Chains A and B, each alone.
Chain A
């Protein structure tokens, strides 16, 4: 009665599909939180730390996204959502496209650190 037909875990499939956007969201949250808290509590040395840290976080996120884009099969296996069914190419294609979108978002977000003073208010 309680033995359903099995297929790959849906949580894995959702994570696979959203891996790129999740990384983008994590990057945005991390750089925004770090920037806001550092500027609020760290005093003068915040201006020295913030740009480098944001650039480093951006490069790390971009690298992870490029890995996800280049090796989607490995990611799918790691998340236990790989099977041979007809949905698989769909998931892989959609996941990779989302990774590209996220990569653009991450680079766009992080590029601000190269151009703007870290803790100056815009008024």
Chain B
């Protein structure tokens, strides 16, 4: 292969890269946005939550060690298991996966950073602040008590008074938003910042898993966001979505929650499987066996996981045939999972040399053993009759800990040992690591294996104590002893971590002899030059690559715009398309995150006025941050390799910004589809409260028709603005007027839609129908508010001379979301006004 930059590079380029990518020092460190810095913070805080939630588990196991124990009382126990589960799922597992994505993905793709570094920083700081406040509620008796799944009616105000449940609903709600922000970053990063030549067929498996992980977040999280909105609205304002007496249904919560909750398991597991697929070939010193099959298995698992949610509801009285559909899907998902396990075993067996046993390898082997057992019990509980026997018993506790600890925690520890040299000047001790592994492995199995029997003997979950004569004492005592061994293993790991981990450039370049790009020579700017890729294990197939990259013989060996930049490539074949100029450190993302967290948390404790001020400040800082984006084409074309010149700016469907907005529209669309499902579900359950028979009939047809006409007019205006921008034909005044008019149309359409229902006397607190109709208006209002802010921001940029025919990313984003809103609202008008007429 001919080198992209064969000639010697001029002196000073590396110093320039170091200056541009330098990490802020001292108190300005919180403004850092570089993935290696904020990624470390991200994984560090996620691990802190793992330790804290683990400590809660130790206390709970101590309480359960013997029957009739009174170490802690029932109320605190309820708070503990709720915070333990919630923290492990929302504050540890998902953030830890995103942290690994933020840390490792740019290195594996040899990108200088992910495309929206400030978005990553925002997501991470919102999570850090919000997560710590949420966890702290356990210390002042304010923690939720309804389990990590928060089923109504238990969590309705009637049965859970106080603010405890609200901390879960609002706290977790905005952490989900943080996860979605991370998902946007990862989807666009994996598809658009790969190095030239790294087609989809050459993409590292971890990148595939992160892409699938982020896509699953896009479609799974909106369901639970809608559910948390509905439950919080019912608790705060009495709109009866889940109150059966007036047409609501608690089962709706279960549908929405598990439509998120089951894919959540795979959201956690698939990236861990991706990590294993990266480590196994290195330790076996041979390429991964069945790369294609693994990709297929990952996509299949990710997709099938959305069809399993009802298997958490087998005992709720759903007709047997429906249960059979989901039972079949639950068993079918074992097939792609099995493909991966066999592929890893085949890779270990295929190695020309013996599989290298390191601490990371031990954790991988431990994962294979534990996860396979968890998978097998998963097939058992996928069978409806068996599930009826063990539902809500410790058998299920044992099953999901085998899946989640085996399927995520063990691979995570393997990953820490394996990738530690990327971020630390010293490696962790292999000798101590083996002690850590064996203590964790033995401790885990001693804890959870007996729980299968405890469950089969009938011990229910979520009980704070049990009578001593039930015959559960010995098994529980063994489980508790195992917990202490497991905790001791983690403690030994922490001691080793404290002794060895020192942030800095790696001491050994590629200690495991791996073949993937993260092991190229690295610095704060990632790799000196971005390599051209011709295989899946480029470091094995081209041993000279590290030196070539270090010497700047590949793409973009310098910083021609004088700012942070990376190459954007095409999504399928990774052909270079343009160079993205990325923002550097800054206060706005940090402050926006802090005020966003404050907004949600203050709202939880009903300090509405201060919450609103914080919300406004959060928006102000987001706008301040956005003002510096969209730099325009001022830097022109630059040379990234000999004879290869690329633009430094791109708008339209090729730009990364467009892609991010499309991802966001998918999220909004998923949320709205969850709403449509909820509306129809409640109608099926309680048709007697539906209009026109059970509630006031919808307003006359003129109201929705006028609303629809205004929406279409707004879209038409923006279509005209797009054309005028392209032709330079319109005056600044005309464009400004058109932008304002589009906002007026949208606001008027919203007011007509809401006003129409108000004129009929429909009350959202009366029954589920009224609540669903006004919830539709709430969802509409969210988009209207977002568009008002974006529209006025676009107008301000236009008036400031920062919007024209070429420099138009801000406008494109506004127009895209506007058109989406029109489409969603038209669907909503059809549903809200058409459906009652159809059934009436």
- Give bound CA distance, A98 to B329, whole Å: 15
Interface residues of A in 46-93 (CB under 8 A from B): 50, 54, 85-87, 89-91, 93
Shortest Cβ distance from residue A84 to the other chain B in the assembled complex, whole angstroms: 11
- Give bound CA distance, A21 to B304, whole Å: 7
Contacts of B336 in A (CB 8 A): 101
Contacts of B578 in A (CB 8 A): 4
- Encoded as 1 (CB less than 8 Å from any B CB) or 0, chain A from 36 to 52 comes to 11011100000000100
Interface residues of B in 308-352 (CB under 8 A from A): 310, 314, 317-329, 331-332, 335-336
B806 close to chain A: CB less than 8 A: yes
Shortest Cβ distance from residue A88 to the other chain B in the assembled complex, whole angstroms: 9
| Known interface pairs A37-B684, A105-B332, A112-B328; A24-B572 also in contact (CB < 8 Å) | no
Shortest Cβ distance from residue A38 to the other chain B in the assembled complex, whole angstroms: 10
- Encoded as 1 (CB less than 8 Å from any A CB) or 0, chain B from 283 to 304 comes to 0000000001101100110011
- Give bound CA distance, A101 to B576, whole Å: 34
Interface size on B, residues (CB 8 A): 54
Once the chains bind, are A4 and B577 in contact (CB under 8 Å)?
A: yes
Shortest Cβ distance from residue B826 to the other chain A in the assembled complex, whole angstroms: 22
| Known interface pairs A24-B303, A90-B200, A105-B328; A121-B320 also in contact (CB < 8 Å) | yes
Once the chains bind, are A101 and B317 in contact (CB under 8 Å)?
A: no
Residue of A nearest to B654 (CB): A4
Shortest Cβ distance from residue A22 to the other chain B in the assembled complex, whole angstroms: 8
Shortest Cβ distance from residue B590 to the other chain A in the assembled complex, whole angstroms: 33
Once the chains bind, are A1 and B200 in contact (CB under 8 Å)?
A: no
Shortest Cβ distance from residue B335 to the other chain A in the assembled complex, whole angstroms: 7
| Known interface pairs A122-B384, A123-B317; A21-B576 also in contact (CB < 8 Å) | no
The segment from B230-238, B617-625, B645-653, B792-800 that touches chain A is B645-653
- Give bound CA distance, A25 to B219, whole Å: 13
Residue of A nearest to B649 (CB): A1
Once the chains bind, are A7 and B292 in contact (CB under 8 Å)?
A: no
Once the chains bind, are B199 and A25 in contact (CB under 8 Å)?
A: no
Once the chains bind, are A116 and B572 in contact (CB under 8 Å)?
A: no
Contacts of A105 in B (CB 8 A): 304, 307, 328-329, 332
Contacts of B295 in A (CB 8 A): 94
Once the chains bind, are B319 and A121 in contact (CB under 8 Å)?
A: yes
Contacts of B324 in A (CB 8 A): 109, 112, 115-116
Once the chains bind, are A120 and B320 in contact (CB under 8 Å)?
A: yes
Once the chains bind, are A21 and B332 in contact (CB under 8 Å)?
A: no
Once the chains bind, are A108 and B328 in contact (CB under 8 Å)?
A: yes
Shortest Cβ distance from residue B384 to the other chain A in the assembled complex, whole angstroms: 6
- Give bound CA distance, A105 to B263, whole Å: 17
B201 close to chain A: CB less than 8 A: yes
Contacts of B572 in A (CB 8 A): 7-8, 10, 13, 85, 87
8 Å CB contact of A28 from B307, B571, B684? B307
Contacts of B201 in A (CB 8 A): 86-87, 89-90
- Give bound CA distance, A90 to B199, whole Å: 10
- Give bound CA distance, A85 to B293, whole Å: 20
Contacts of B317 in A (CB 8 A): 121, 123
Contacts of A122 in B (CB 8 A): 314, 318-320, 323, 384, 388
Residue of A nearest to B191 (CB): A10
Contacts of A24 in B (CB 8 A): 303-304, 307
Interface residues of B in 736-779 (CB under 8 A from A): none
Contacts of B384 in A (CB 8 A): 122
- Give bound CA distance, A28 to B317, whole Å: 19
8 Å CB contact of B300 from A1, A13, A21, A37? A21
- Give bound CA distance, A117 to B327, whole Å: 16
Count of A-B contacts judged by CB separation below 8 Å: 151
Contacts of A31 in B (CB 8 A): 325
B633 close to chain A: CB less than 8 A: yes
Once the chains bind, are B570 and A7 in contact (CB under 8 Å)?
A: yes
Interface residues of B in 552-586 (CB under 8 A from A): 570-573, 575-578
Once the chains bind, are B806 and A2 in contact (CB under 8 Å)?
A: yes
B669 close to chain A: CB less than 8 A: no
| Known interface pairs A90-B292, A101-B336; A116-B321 also in contact (CB < 8 Å) | yes
Once the chains bind, are A35 and B321 in contact (CB under 8 Å)?
A: yes
| Known interface pairs A87-B201, A105-B329; A1-B650 also in contact (CB < 8 Å) | yes
Contacts of A109 in B (CB 8 A): 324-325, 328-329, 332
- Give bound CA distance, A118 to B331, whole Å: 21
- Give bound CA distance, A120 to B571, whole Å: 49
- Give bound CA distance, A91 to B652, whole Å: 26
- Give bound CA distance, A96 to B306, whole Å: 20
Once the chains bind, are B299 and A117 in contact (CB under 8 Å)?
A: no
Once the chains bind, are A21 and B325 in contact (CB under 8 Å)?
A: no
- Give bound CA distance, A115 to B577, whole Å: 56
- Give bound CA distance, A29 to B335, whole Å: 21
Residue of B nearest to A113 (CB): B321
Once the chains bind, are A94 and B306 in contact (CB under 8 Å)?
A: no
Shortest Cβ distance from residue A112 to the other chain B in the assembled complex, whole angstroms: 3
Contacts of B388 in A (CB 8 A): 122
Once the chains bind, are A91 and B200 in contact (CB under 8 Å)?
A: yes
8 Å CB contact of B319 from A2, A35, A94, A98? A35
Once the chains bind, are A17 and B299 in contact (CB under 8 Å)?
A: yes
B687 close to chain A: CB less than 8 A: yes
Once the chains bind, are B303 and A18 in contact (CB under 8 Å)?
A: yes
A119 close to chain B: CB less than 8 A: yes
| Known interface pairs A1-B650, A2-B651; A85-B573 also in contact (CB < 8 Å) | yes
Contacts of B319 in A (CB 8 A): 35-36, 39, 118-122
Contacts of A40 in B (CB 8 A): 684-685
- Give bound CA distance, A17 to B323, whole Å: 29
Contacts of B647 in A (CB 8 A): 1-2
Once the chains bind, are B292 and A108 in contact (CB under 8 Å)?
A: no
Contacts of B573 in A (CB 8 A): 7, 85-87
Contacts of B320 in A (CB 8 A): 116-117, 120-122
Residue of A nearest to B323 (CB): A122
- Give bound CA distance, A123 to B316, whole Å: 9
| Known interface pairs A5-B576, A10-B191, A90-B201; A21-B328 also in contact (CB < 8 Å) | no
Contacts of A119 in B (CB 8 A): 319, 321
Once the chains bind, are A28 and B191 in contact (CB under 8 Å)?
A: no
| Known interface pairs A5-B570, A101-B335; A117-B328 also in contact (CB < 8 Å) | no
Once the chains bind, are A98 and B321 in contact (CB under 8 Å)?
A: no
Most B-side CB within 10 Å, residue of A2, A8, A41, A116: A2
Contacts of B191 in A (CB 8 A): 10
Once the chains bind, are A28 and B325 in contact (CB under 8 Å)?
A: yes
Most B-side CB within 10 Å, residue of A8, A94, A117: A94
8 Å CB contact of A35 from B307, B322, B328? B322
- Give bound CA distance, A31 to B328, whole Å: 13
- Give bound CA distance, A119 to B324, whole Å: 12
- Give bound CA distance, A28 to B651, whole Å: 39
Residue of B nearest to A90 (CB): B201
Once the chains bind, are B575 and A5 in contact (CB under 8 Å)?
A: yes
Most B-side CB within 10 Å, residue of A5, A39, A101, A121: A101
Contacts of B293 in A (CB 8 A): 97
- Give bound CA distance, A33 to B61, whole Å: 42
Once the chains bind, are B292 and A97 in contact (CB under 8 Å)?
A: yes
Listed A/B pairs (7) with beta-carbon separation below 8 Å: A21-B304, A41-B684, A90-B200, A90-B201, A98-B299, A101-B336, A120-B319
By a beta-carbon cutoff of 8 Å, the part of chain A in contact with chain B is 1-2, 4-5, 7-8, 10, 13, 17-18, 21, 24-25, 28, 31-32, 35-37, 39-41, 50, 54, 85-87, 89-91, 93-94, 97-98, 101-102, 104-105, 108-109, 111-113, 115-123
By a beta-carbon cutoff of 8 Å, the part of chain B in contact with chain A is 191, 199-201, 292-293, 295-296, 299-300, 303-304, 306-307, 310, 314, 317-329, 331-332, 335-336, 384, 388, 570-573, 575-578, 633, 647, 649-652, 654, 684-685, 687, 806
Q: Would you list the 6 A-B pairs with minimal beta carbon distance, nearest first? A: A112-B324, A90-B201, A21-B303, A122-B320, A108-B328, A4-B654
User: What 12 additional pairs, Cβ within 8 angstroms, besides A28-B307, A40-B684, A121-B317?
Assistant: A2-B647, A4-B654, A7-B570, A21-B299, A39-B319, A85-B573, A87-B199, A87-B573, A105-B304, A112-B324, A116-B320, A118-B321
